[in-house]
Amino acid sequence: MITEEQIWNYLDGSLSEAERKEVERSIAADKQSMDLFTEISALNRYLKQSSLLSPSLSFTGTVMAAIAQQKPFTAPVVLPIKALLLFLLPSLALITAFAAVLAYGDVQLSTLAQINIPMPDFSRFKIYLIAGYILILAYLLDKLSEHRFNRKALLS
Protein backbone atom coordinates (compact mmCIF):
# COMPACT_ATOMS: atom_id res chain seq x y z
CA MET A 1 0.00 0.00 0.00
CA ILE A 2 1.21 3.51 -0.77
CA THR A 3 1.34 6.41 1.67
CA GLU A 4 -0.43 9.77 1.53
CA GLU A 5 2.90 11.48 1.01
CA GLN A 6 3.58 9.38 -2.08
CA ILE A 7 0.14 10.29 -3.49
CA TRP A 8 0.69 14.00 -2.84
CA ASN A 9 4.10 13.80 -4.51
CA TYR A 10 2.50 11.92 -7.43
CA LEU A 11 -0.14 14.64 -7.86
CA ASP A 12 2.53 17.35 -7.63
CA GLY A 13 4.66 15.55 -10.21
CA SER A 14 7.73 15.37 -7.99
CA LEU A 15 8.29 11.60 -8.21
CA SER A 16 10.87 9.90 -10.40
CA GLU A 17 9.68 7.73 -13.29
CA ALA A 18 10.14 4.50 -11.32
CA GLU A 19 8.33 5.85 -8.25
CA ARG A 20 5.49 7.19 -10.43
CA LYS A 21 5.01 3.75 -12.03
CA GLU A 22 5.05 2.10 -8.57
CA VAL A 23 2.28 4.45 -7.35
CA GLU A 24 0.18 3.82 -10.49
CA ARG A 25 0.63 0.06 -10.13
CA SER A 26 -0.38 0.20 -6.44
CA ILE A 27 -3.46 2.31 -7.22
CA ALA A 28 -4.59 -0.12 -9.92
CA ALA A 29 -3.97 -3.23 -7.78
CA ASP A 30 -5.13 -2.21 -4.27
CA LYS A 31 -8.65 -1.04 -3.37
CA GLN A 32 -7.47 0.87 -0.24
CA SER A 33 -4.82 2.69 -2.29
CA MET A 34 -7.44 3.56 -4.92
CA ASP A 35 -9.82 4.97 -2.27
CA LEU A 36 -7.01 6.98 -0.69
CA PHE A 37 -5.93 8.28 -4.10
CA THR A 38 -9.53 9.30 -4.98
CA GLU A 39 -9.92 11.15 -1.67
CA ILE A 40 -6.60 12.98 -1.90
CA SER A 41 -7.02 13.89 -5.56
CA ALA A 42 -10.50 15.35 -4.83
CA LEU A 43 -9.00 17.42 -2.03
CA ASN A 44 -6.16 18.51 -4.31
CA ARG A 45 -8.64 19.64 -7.01
CA TYR A 46 -10.68 21.57 -4.44
CA LEU A 47 -7.59 23.35 -3.11
CA LYS A 48 -6.48 24.32 -6.62
CA GLN A 49 -9.95 25.66 -7.53
CA SER A 50 -10.52 27.66 -4.36
CA SER A 51 -9.11 31.15 -4.22
CA LEU A 52 -6.75 32.08 -1.45
CA LEU A 53 -7.96 34.70 0.96
CA SER A 54 -5.73 37.70 0.99
CA PRO A 55 -6.03 41.04 2.75
CA SER A 56 -7.02 44.13 0.82
CA LEU A 57 -4.27 46.23 -0.74
CA SER A 58 -4.64 48.98 1.84
CA PHE A 59 -4.52 46.59 4.82
CA THR A 60 -0.76 46.72 5.33
CA GLY A 61 -0.68 50.50 4.98
CA THR A 62 -3.54 50.93 7.43
CA VAL A 63 -1.94 48.68 10.04
CA MET A 64 1.48 50.31 9.72
CA ALA A 65 -0.08 53.81 10.02
CA ALA A 66 -1.95 52.75 13.16
CA ILE A 67 1.25 51.38 14.67
CA ALA A 68 3.17 54.56 13.81
CA GLN A 69 0.55 56.73 15.56
CA GLN A 70 0.76 54.84 18.83
CA LYS A 71 3.12 56.13 21.47
CA PRO A 72 5.56 53.54 22.82
CA PHE A 73 4.99 52.53 26.42
CA THR A 74 7.73 53.62 28.76
CA ALA A 75 7.52 52.83 32.44
CA PRO A 76 8.31 55.76 34.72
CA VAL A 77 11.65 55.51 36.46
CA VAL A 78 10.58 57.13 39.71
CA LEU A 79 11.41 55.28 42.88
CA PRO A 80 8.89 55.46 45.69
CA ILE A 81 10.68 57.71 48.16
CA LYS A 82 8.80 56.42 51.20
CA ALA A 83 9.78 52.81 50.49
CA LEU A 84 13.38 53.84 49.88
CA LEU A 85 13.53 55.75 53.17
CA LEU A 86 11.96 52.81 54.98
CA PHE A 87 14.84 50.72 53.68
CA LEU A 88 17.75 53.13 54.17
CA LEU A 89 16.96 54.43 57.66
CA PRO A 90 16.64 51.00 59.32
CA SER A 91 19.71 49.86 57.40
CA LEU A 92 21.70 52.69 58.93
CA ALA A 93 20.23 51.87 62.36
CA LEU A 94 21.16 48.22 61.91
CA ILE A 95 24.74 49.05 60.96
CA THR A 96 25.03 51.41 63.92
CA ALA A 97 23.59 48.79 66.29
CA PHE A 98 26.03 46.13 65.07
CA ALA A 99 28.95 48.54 65.45
CA ALA A 100 27.82 49.32 68.99
CA VAL A 101 27.51 45.62 69.84
CA LEU A 102 30.98 44.91 68.50
CA ALA A 103 32.56 47.85 70.29
CA TYR A 104 30.73 47.31 73.60
CA GLY A 105 33.10 44.67 74.96
CA ASP A 106 36.26 46.76 74.52
CA VAL A 107 35.46 49.84 76.59
CA GLN A 108 38.52 51.58 78.00
CA LEU A 109 38.34 54.53 80.39
CA SER A 110 42.03 55.33 80.06
CA THR A 111 45.22 53.73 78.94
CA LEU A 112 46.30 53.14 82.54
CA ALA A 113 43.24 51.39 83.89
CA GLN A 114 41.35 49.02 81.68
CA ILE A 115 37.90 47.96 82.80
CA ASN A 116 36.48 44.81 81.35
CA ILE A 117 32.72 44.93 81.15
CA PRO A 118 31.14 41.53 80.59
CA MET A 119 29.52 41.17 77.21
CA PRO A 120 25.74 40.75 77.53
CA ASP A 121 23.85 38.17 75.47
CA PHE A 122 22.76 39.94 72.29
CA SER A 123 21.59 36.84 70.40
CA ARG A 124 17.90 37.78 70.64
CA PHE A 125 18.66 41.39 69.83
CA LYS A 126 20.57 40.33 66.72
CA ILE A 127 17.73 38.04 65.62
CA TYR A 128 15.21 40.87 66.04
CA LEU A 129 17.42 43.24 64.07
CA ILE A 130 17.89 40.77 61.24
CA ALA A 131 14.19 39.86 61.16
CA GLY A 132 13.22 43.54 61.06
CA TYR A 133 15.74 44.17 58.31
CA ILE A 134 14.32 41.29 56.25
CA LEU A 135 10.76 42.58 56.75
CA ILE A 136 11.76 46.07 55.67
CA LEU A 137 13.59 44.68 52.64
CA ALA A 138 10.52 42.62 51.71
CA TYR A 139 8.33 45.72 52.04
CA LEU A 140 10.68 47.69 49.81
CA LEU A 141 10.71 44.98 47.15
CA ASP A 142 6.92 44.78 47.32
CA LYS A 143 6.57 48.53 46.80
CA LEU A 144 9.10 48.52 43.97
CA SER A 145 7.35 45.65 42.20
CA GLU A 146 3.97 47.33 42.69
CA HIS A 147 5.37 50.53 41.23
CA ARG A 148 7.26 48.90 38.37
CA PHE A 149 4.65 46.42 37.20
CA ASN A 150 1.55 48.40 38.24
CA ARG A 151 0.10 45.37 40.00
CA LYS A 152 -3.16 47.18 40.85
CA ALA A 153 -3.91 47.68 37.14
CA LEU A 154 -3.12 44.03 36.42
CA LEU A 155 -5.45 42.73 39.13
CA SER A 156 -8.40 44.92 38.19
pLDDT of residue 50: 81
pTM for this one?
0.36
Q: What is the dihedral of CA 44, 50, 53, 57, to 10 degrees?
A: 120
Please give the C-alpha separations between residue 118 and each of 28, 75, 97, 104, 121, in angstroms, as whole numbers.
Answer: 106, 55, 18, 9, 10
Contact status, residue 97 vs residue 126, Cβ threshold 8 Å = no
Total count of residues recorded for the chain: 156
Per-residue pLDDT of the chain in tens (156 residues, 90 and over written 9): 788 999 899 998 889 999 999 999 999 998 999 999 999 999 888 888 887 777 777 888 888 888 888 877 666 655 566 666 767 777 787 778 767 766 665 555 455 555 565 666 666 777 777 787 788 778 777 777 766 655 555 554
**Sequence ranges of the domains in the chain:** 4-49, 81-155
Asked if 10 and 41 touch (Cβ cutoff 8 Å), the reply is no
Per-residue model confidence (pLDDT) at position 156: 47
Instruction: State the SS3 of 58-117.
Output: CHHHHHHHHHHHCCCCCCCCCCCHHHHHHHHHHHHHHHHHHHHHHHHCCCCCCCCCCCCC
